[in-house]
Chain A
Amino acid sequence: GEDVEQSLFLSVREGDSSVINCTYTDSSSTYLYWYKQEPGAGLQLLTYIFSNMDMKQDQRLTVLLNKKDKHLSLRIADTQTGDSAIYFCAESPTNDYKLSFGAGTTVTVRA
């Protein structure tokens, strides 16, 4: 079964903030990632956070990590139509970087 779990769908109005949630199971030192996949394209790394961090911000993206609950979220500020895609949460241990992905959250941005 999946070690990483995500909600499957999110619909958001253009200009609003999107919040995508993920839970993971690995309790050891790990990296946690957010990837974006547009139709017919490969995965694009958006951002990642090390498990000893609480938050990381990069332009419109904010990652929050709750280590106690093993909960990761990605907030996209001022969501645009170009943000419509599937977003994957993934984790990897720090010793070999092999990725374990969630099933992906399909984000639809409506005008």
Chain B
Amino acid sequence: EAGVAQSPRYKIIEKRQSVAFWCNPISGHATLYWYQQILGQGPKLLIQFQNNGVVDDSQLPKDRFSAERLKGVDSTLKIQPAKLEDSAVYLCASTGQGSNEQFFGPGTRLTVL
């Protein structure tokens, strides 16, 4: 079974630029999560989707971050415009229906200069 796929693996941008990350969850997994992991910290949840609907986006900085999962499968996370403090690893995870086990992708490491 293929795992959670993310791309790109690395991205370097300048502040005020825009960036987008892509996630393909495990096939059949209805729930998808985006986390932000700042260096030296644990991951923090940004947004949770159930199929194509948002379950929780309370921690998403909506003035600059947006996410969508239009067809209930792949998801994209966008930052526009980026700030220096957005430098982090962005992790995507997914779970099957009724399961508590989240499977994580390898992450996208973003550096904002």
Interface residues of A (CB under 8 A from B): 2, 4, 31, 35, 40-45, 48, 88, 90, 92, 94, 96-104
Contact = CB atoms under 8 A, between A and B. Distances in A.
Contacts of A43: 43, 91, 93, 104
Contacts of B56: 96, 98
Interface of chain A, main secondary structure: loop
24 contacts: A2-B42, A4-B42, A40-B106, A42-B91, A42-B107, A45-B103, A48-B101, A88-B42, A90-B42, A92-B100, A94-B100, A96-B56, A97-B99, A97-B102, A98-B45, A98-B56, A99-B43, A99-B102, A101-B43, A101-B44, A102-B42, A103-B41, A104-B41, A104-B42
A2 B106 CA distance: 24
A60 B106 CA distance: 25
A42 B105 contact: yes
Nearest to A6: B42
Interface string B30-59: 010100000011111100100000011000
Interface residues of B, number: 24
A98 B48 contact: yes
A97 B95 contact: yes
Contacts of B110: none
Contacts, number: 55
A93 B55 CA distance: 15
A45 B41 contact: no
Q: Which interface residue of A40, A43, A104 has the most chain B CB atoms within 10 A?
A: A43
